[in-house]
């Protein structure tokens, strides 16, 4: 207990010093501290969760760790680069980025281009590495929304200028993502667009009407696919079929339950031993709960809380409307994905294949999230 108290005191002192330095140096490095800590925890968790799986599948227990470390180096490099490039550059690239994103989504459906996993064609595979275009779509839409909303200004309250053009643009990409099929990512983008439009000044009744219609469409899509219906039923009551549709979420519950307060210890997870499918990706947070316990879960939640609140503060203090919308859009996208992943793993939301930012294994997600942090750092230096 004494050691823990000393450690906590040192962390608080370090944060206070970093706060003072970040205030005086231009860049708000306080947003960087939780990111670095999350990346470090993520590398540890990816290795611990994937070691047996990698040894069994590939004969190399370090396989996923080495690849995640490589993605981390690439992402940090892009973050440093973005930190030193004016965010106004992206406003000039908004339409090229949208066109590239659209073309990549189209190419996924061309035979020989897209790579299928579990019946879904969401990736390009090149030389042993995979790239998920939907991550570029999220980034491109964040830039487009910031650029367009800042340009329209007070006209955002009018349907023809505010809701309609942004909804059509986002809807086009969401439709292509649903066809992959990847309904979960499309829903995430849709919810994020609603949040950003609300902040941008679109009237609440317009957004509520869109959400009501979208809810009917989503429910129709769920009914049309058995696996989506099974996920919904597993969410409502996984114990009805513990060896079938409820297997994954039940073992996630078991991971959290066996972790207790302090966890079973790093590397001591039982659920990663081929009980919890893909423990290093979508359900990495469950391994945190098992091996690091409530304390580890709380630390990660607090770090995300610090990251999101700091990002919102940077957005509020930005020097212009475009920078404010861009910082807010990027940090909301990271925060929304984190909240949904945690909700899914804890059984609070239906199962959806979504990575936990900075923690789960996944190169495309990690690289674009770090790039987003670099842009937010740049915006913080201009306040």
Within-domain flag for 278: yes
pLDDT digits (tens, 9 = 90+) for 161-179: 888 999 999 999 999 999 8
Within-domain flag for 263: yes
The answer to whether the beta carbons of residues 21 and 374 sit under 8 Å apart is no
Q: Which of 12-16, 59-63, 143-147 has the lowest mean pLDDT?
A: 12-16
Nearest alpha carbon to residue 119 among 182, 172, 60, 29: 182
Within-domain flag for 288: yes
Nearest alpha carbon to residue 104 among 128, 78, 126, 137: 137
Per-residue pLDDT band for 6 (boundaries 50, 70, 90) equals very low
pLDDT confidence of residue 118: 64
Per-residue pLDDT band for 340 (boundaries 50, 70, 90) equals very high
Tokens 């659920």 sit on residue: 271
Nearest alpha carbon to residue 68 among 37, 42, 41: 42
Within-domain flag for 3: no
Q: Which of 59-63, 77-81, 183-187 has the lowest mean pLDDT?
A: 59-63
pLDDT digits (tens, 9 = 90+) for 80-128: 999 999 888 998 999 999 999 999 999 888 877 777 776 678 878 877 6
Tokens 């973050």 sit on residue: 79
Per-residue pLDDT band for 252 (boundaries 50, 70, 90) equals confident
Within-domain flag for 23: no
Number of domains in the chain: 1
pLDDT confidence of residue 367: 93
pLDDT digits (tens, 9 = 90+) for 289-327: 998 989 999 999 999 999 999 999 999 988 889 999 999
Is the pLDDT at 7 greater than 60, yes or no?
no
Within-domain flag for 14: no
Strand spans (E) along 100-177? 114-117, 120-126, 129-131
pLDDT confidence of residue 310: 93
Within-domain flag for 13: no
Q: Which of 11-25, 42-56, 124-138, 367-381 has the lowest mean pLDDT?
A: 11-25
Within-domain flag for 6: no
What's the pTM? 0.88
Nearest alpha carbon to residue 282 among 363, 190, 361, 180: 361
Is the pLDDT at 144 greater than 70, yes or no?
yes
Is the pLDDT at 229 greater than 60, yes or no?
yes
Rounded mean pLDDT, 39-60: 88
Where is mean pLDDT largest: 200-204, 225-229, 269-273? 200-204
- To the nearest whole number, what is the mean pLDDT of the chain? 85
Largest CA distance in the chain: 62
Q: 3-state DSSP call for residue 277? A: coil
pLDDT digits (tens, 9 = 90+) for 350-373: 887 788 999 998 888 999 999 999
- CB burial string 41-58: b at 16+ within 10 A, e below: bbbbbbbbbbbbbbeeee
Boundaries of domain holding 210: 30-380
pLDDT confidence of residue 333: 94
């Amino acid at each position: 207990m004494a050691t823990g108290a000393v450690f906590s005191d040192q962390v608080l002192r370090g944060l206070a010093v970093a706060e003072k330095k970040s205030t005086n140096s231009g860049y708000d490095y306080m947003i960087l501290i939780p990111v670095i800590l999350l990346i470090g925890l993520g590398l540890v968790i990816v290795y611990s969760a994937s070691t047996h799986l990698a040894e069994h599948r590939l004969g190399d227990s370090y396989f996923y760790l080495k690849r995640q470390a490589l993605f981390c180096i690439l992402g940090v490099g892009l973050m440093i680069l973005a930190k030193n490039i004016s965010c106004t550059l992206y406003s000039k690239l908004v339409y090229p980025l949208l066109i590239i994103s659209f073309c990549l989504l189209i190419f996924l459906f061309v035979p020989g281009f897209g790579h299928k996993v579990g019946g879904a064609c969401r990736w390009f595979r090149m030389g042993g590495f995979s790239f998920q275009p939907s991550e570029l779509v999220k980034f491109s839409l964040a830039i487009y929304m910031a650029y367009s909303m800042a340009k329209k200004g007070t006209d955002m309250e009018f349907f023809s200028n505010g809701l309609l053009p942004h909804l059509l643009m986002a809807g086009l990409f969401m439709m292509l993502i649903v066809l992959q099929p990847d309904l979960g990512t499309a829903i995430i983008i849709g919810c994020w667009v609603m949040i950003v439009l609300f902040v941008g000044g679109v009237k609440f009744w317009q957004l509520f009407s869109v959400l009501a219609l979208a809810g009917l469409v989503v429910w129709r899509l769920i009914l049309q696919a058995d696996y989506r219906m099974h996920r919904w039923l597993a969410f409502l009551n996984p114990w009805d079929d513990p060896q079938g549709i409820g297997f994954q979420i039940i073992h996630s519950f078991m991971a959290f339950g066996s972790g207790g307060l302090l966890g079973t210890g790093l590397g001591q997870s039982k659920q990663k031993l081929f009980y919890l499918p893909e423990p290093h990706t979508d359900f990495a947070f469950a391994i945190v709960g098992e091996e690091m316990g409530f304390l580890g879960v709380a630390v990660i939640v607090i770090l995300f809380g610090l990251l999101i609140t700091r990002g919102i503060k940077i957005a509020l203090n930005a020097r212009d409307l475009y920078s404010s919308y861009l910082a807010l859009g990027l940090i909301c996208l990271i925060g929304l994905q984190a909240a949904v992943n945690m909700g899914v793993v804890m059984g609070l939301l239906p199962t959806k294949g979504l990575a936990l930012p900075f923690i789960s294994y996944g190169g495309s997600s990690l690289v674009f999230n770090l790039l987003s942090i670099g842009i937010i750092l740049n915006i913080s230096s201009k306040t």
